[in-house]
């Protein structure tokens, strides 16, 4: 269940990357000194993170009261996890790195959609 949610998280992330490439490529080029090369092995860790998060989200979800409407569909659960983990992480990026605000905004929205989709998958698999 958690791995399935993580895979969905990766798919959402890749889809948003493809949709925003036209906007973000110039930003990445303008700040090239900040980024590692895509060929660096550690860059692939960013695809491992949604799997890790999915497993933990699934573990946490089993302790929620599914009778409560707020948790039944998983979207709100995903939003709450994003508020606890995704939003603060992106806020830290915004506050500590000299990267375009638009890029941080895209990452914030991407993370929100990713966590909400993962929450939905977990709720669907664990009635």
Compute the C-alpha angle 41/99/115, nearest 5°: 65
pTM above 0.85, yes or no: yes
Mean per-residue pLDDT, 87-92: 94
Give the chain's end-to-end CA distance (angstroms, integer).
Answer: 11
The residues spanned by each domain of the chain are 2-9+44-125
Residue 127 has pLDDT above 70, yes or no: no
Place of tokens 């941080």: 104
Q: Is 42's pLDDT higher than 80?
A: yes
Report the C-alpha gap between 25 and 17 in whole angstroms.
10
- Is 65 buried (19+), middle (13-18) or exposed (0-12) by CB count in 10 A? exposed
């Amino acid at each position: 269940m958690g791995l399935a949610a993580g895979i969905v998280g990766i798919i959402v992330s890749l889809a948003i990357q493809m949709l925003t490439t036209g906007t973000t490529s110039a930003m990445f080029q303008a700040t090239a000194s900040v980024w590692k090369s895509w060929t660096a092995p550690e860059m692939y860790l960013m695809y491992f993170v949604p799997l890790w998060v999915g497993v933990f989200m699934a573990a946490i979800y089993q302790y929620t009261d599914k009778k409560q409407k707020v948790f039944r569909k998983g979207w709100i659960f995903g939003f709450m996890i994003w508020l606890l983990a995704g939003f603060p992480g992106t806020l830290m990026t915004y506050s500590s790195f000299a990267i375009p605000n638009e890029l941080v905004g895209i990452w914030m929205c991407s993370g929100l959609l990713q966590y909400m989709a993962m929450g939905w998958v977990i709720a669907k698999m664990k009635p």
